Amino acid sequence: MPETDNVEKKVRENLQLTVVLVEPQGGLNIGSVCRVMLNFGFTDLRLVNPQVDHLSHDARLMAVKAASVLESAKVFQTLEEALSGCKLSFGTTRRFGRYREGLLHPSEAAELLVPVAQGDSVALVFGREDRGLFTSELDLCQHFITIPTDEMLPSMNLAQAVALCLYEVSKTKGELAGRVAKHKKFASSENLEAMYQHMRKSLLDIGYLDPQNPDHILRSFRRILSRSGLNDREVRILRGLFNQIDLYTGQKFSRKSLREKNE
């Protein structure tokens, strides 16, 4: 079946869901996340530059019977590396702002996530306990999740936030069990990021982006295209457009150089 077609399949028992923790700062939290993950049947944990030994006594103490999740956790230096192979990524944030529009509640995110995770790898990304995810890290995610807490104390404990999101995923998985689900085959995170870097270069070359702050407009493009959910064919089409821009600007610069040389 062509990749552009919707894929029809019944919900399978196991979802391809990865939990990513960016620079976690406490062993107790890491261990607690492992326990929560196994509570809901998930085992793929990825840690980005953890600030503590994730196999410490504190982590093992809180993991309890989920030591297998802790011991099999993969460690990466950057979020981009940790998201390798994931077709869809959901970044969590409690902050609102210009570049953080279209926030989803965990239940809404689960409705988008579950059909995709039946056949493709999907990531839930959680930030630092004290500072969350940086805007540059959210750039690597296609959707944002926020938990509607009260302003008196809006920031949740890391493991609690993971538990709430995984509960919604598991609940939605149960609700969809036995039904026919449709989802689009998304482009990989690597292909998307390569496209965005190509877009940056092409739009800088034609003077569309401000060289002093190219990400200001580029982040708006990221949000627009993330809502569309691009597949590999659509990524190739857009890169074909940027290739034509590159070809045109290259020819233009060549003609300009030739005129200057003749003068």
Q: Please tell me the pTM assigned to this model.
A: 0.74
Q: Which amino acid is at 215?
A: D
C-beta of residue 58 within 8 angstroms of C-beta of residue 29: no
Q: Which amino acid is at 248?
A: Y
Residue boundaries of the structural domains of the chain: 10-183, 189-262
User: Which listed CATH number (1.10.10.10, 3.40.1800.10, 1.10.8.590, 3.10.105.10) goes with 189-262?
Assistant: 1.10.8.590
Mean pLDDT per segment of 10 residues, for the chain of length 263 residues?
A: 38 80 97 97 97 96 96 97 94 71 89 91 96 92 93 92 97 78 75 91 90 88 84 91 87 53 51
pLDDT of residue 4: 32
Architecture in CATH of 10-183: 3-Layer(aba) Sandwich (3.40)
10-183 and 189-262 have identical folds: no
pLDDT tens, position by position, 179-221? 645 566 888 888 898 999 999 999 998 889 888 888 888 888 8
- CA–CA distances in Å: residue 202 to residues 135, 245, 248: 22, 6, 10
Distance CA 85, CA 114 (A): 17
Phi–psi pair at 83, nearest 5 degrees: -90, 0
pLDDT of residue 6: 39
Q: Which of 15, 11, 16, 38 is nearest to 163 (CA)?
A: 38
